[in-house]
Amino acid sequence: MKILVISQRYYPDQFRINEITVDLVKQGHEVMVITGLPQDDEGYVRKDYRWGKNRREEWNGVQIHRTYLTSRRKDILSLMINYVSFALSATLKILRLSKKIDQIVVFQVSPITQIIPAVVMKKRAKIPLVVYIQDLWPMSVTTVGVKTDSFFYKLLRKFCTYLYSQADKLAITSRSYEKILTNELHVKVKCIYLPQFAEDIFTQNLQKRTNGKFNVLFAGSIGAAQSVETIVLAANELRENKEILFWIVGGGRKYDDVVKLAKELKLDNVNFTGHLPIEEMPYYHELADLFVVTLADNPLINITLPAKVQTYMACGKPIVAAAYGEVSTLFDNAKCGKYVKPSDYVGLSKLIKEYYEGPEKVGLYGNSGLQYYISNFTKNKFYLILNGILQKNRSNLTK
């Protein structure tokens, strides 16, 4: 099957779509990706991709077509221009495509505008479209202060409803998305639950490391939605315990703010690594005794299930969280850890101390999470569902 994947972010940026496309090639599919230009931690296009360089690449059998994209930087205006530039340039690229395509798949992290070129391609060539929703819009924009009763939000909601309604199938990473899509956005497209999996690098040949400390790890994007400042404030509550060490691995738009907070509190029990290549991440997962998840105190954010949760569970370590909604429901079902309400840094610090003082709980909750992962979130299960979606779409087209 010839599959066109549209994703504004792609290799060498670190997203699960990288591994998904490579796996699809290994399964015998022909995969072409339309994507933007990789950008550095400051939000500027990397030098080796400027001035028309490396616009066509092949990576592990995946054909990559890169379109024009402005630097997203760290201000809202630049980010908006970045979103629009990809939607326009990718649409122009789509219109020039002469290659026959059987399926279109959009890996929809933010922004939703990357669905636009896929809709153009679908209408032009009568090709089935699957949108794999990672960030549900317009709900995602509430993390940057957009009010749900504002004119902009209401207009954006209508736009998002239109784009989601153009898909033949919507694959969702959180069960809560279906209720929002159906009841609030009034989208009539069928939703299929397609939970994310842990990449191979986190599930194969992990070793146990030790540095003599009880290591608490957060790994992932550091933005407004992740509320990483809650972790820093929890570390401040535990600053007198020299045996508990925090690791914050990753970068993002709020990274500088979180580092500044730790410096203002004069914390010596929090280590920041900044953004790391995925190849370096397993070291910290091996070192961790306890993982942590935090989300902003926002009911619309609570409907998300961060991809890091599956990765944590696959490592066989317990998790603590300051989050409600989809995360807390999973914790209740999987018995993989304990949680408190969003932004409750005092409660989070107490949970961390509880696991530090009860090593038997570390093994118990870690093993329970691993078994739940094996039963529900493995890569094999993911591809059974995804290939089923693609095959059914193709069958419907040929009827």
Give the CA radius of gyration of the chain: 21
> For 305-334, how does the pLDDT look when each residue is reduced to its tens digit (9 = 90+)?
999 999 999 999 999 999 999 999 999 999
User: Per-residue confidence of the chain (399 residues) as pLDDT tens digits?
Assistant: 999 999 999 999 989 999 999 999 999 999 999 999 999 878 899 999 998 899 999 999 999 999 999 998 878 899 899 999 999 999 999 988 877 899 999 999 999 999 999 999 999 999 999 999 999 999 988 877 888 899 999 999 999 999 999 999 999 999 999 999 999 999 999 999 999 999 999 988 788 889 999 999 999 999 888 999 999 999 999 999 999 999 999 998 899 999 999 999 999 999 999 999 999 999 999 999 999 999 998 887 888 999 999 999 999 999 999 999 999 999 999 999 999 999 999 999 999 999 999 988 888 999 999 999 999 999 999 999 999 999 887 666 555
Asked if 113 and 138 count as a contact pair (C-beta separation under 8 A), the reply is no
Closest CA to 133 of 172, 176, 188: 172
Tokens of 155: 């207009």
Amino acid identity of residue 227, one-letter, is S
Same domain (yes/no): 188, 258: no
Same domain (yes/no): 371, 382: no
Asked if 370 and 311 count as a contact pair (C-beta separation under 8 A), the reply is no
User: Any idea what the CATH number is for the domain that residue 105 is in?
Assistant: 3.40.50.2000
Report the domain count for the chain: 2
pTM, 2 dp: 0.91
> For 228-261, how does the pLDDT look when each residue is reduced to its tens digit (9 = 90+)?
999 999 999 999 999 999 999 999 889 999 999 9
Spatial distance between the Cα atoms of 124 and 391, rounded to a whole number of angstroms: 21
Q: E strand or H helix at 95, and its extent? A: helix 76-95
Same domain (yes/no): 12, 120: yes
Same domain (yes/no): 138, 213: no
Residue 145, classed as helix, strand or coil, is coil
Same domain (yes/no): 169, 97: yes
Per the document, the length of the chain is 399
Same domain (yes/no): 164, 41: yes
Task: Quote the domain boundaries for residue 347.
Answer: 203-376
3-state secondary structure 288-329: CCEEEEECCCCCCHHHCCCCHHHHHHHCCCCEEEECCCHHHH
In the block, tokens 């940026």 appear at 13
Asked if 104 and 6 count as a contact pair (C-beta separation under 8 A), the reply is yes
Asked if 324 and 297 count as a contact pair (C-beta separation under 8 A), the reply is no
In the block, tokens 């809650």 appear at 230
Same domain (yes/no): 250, 360: yes
Residue 385, classed as helix, strand or coil, is helix
Same domain (yes/no): 304, 389: no
Same domain (yes/no): 211, 358: yes
Amino acid identity of residue 196, one-letter, is Q
Same domain (yes/no): 296, 169: no
Same domain (yes/no): 371, 383: no
Same domain (yes/no): 170, 294: no
All residues at 6 or more sequence positions from 120 whose CB lies less than 8 Å from its CB, including other chains:
91, 94, 95
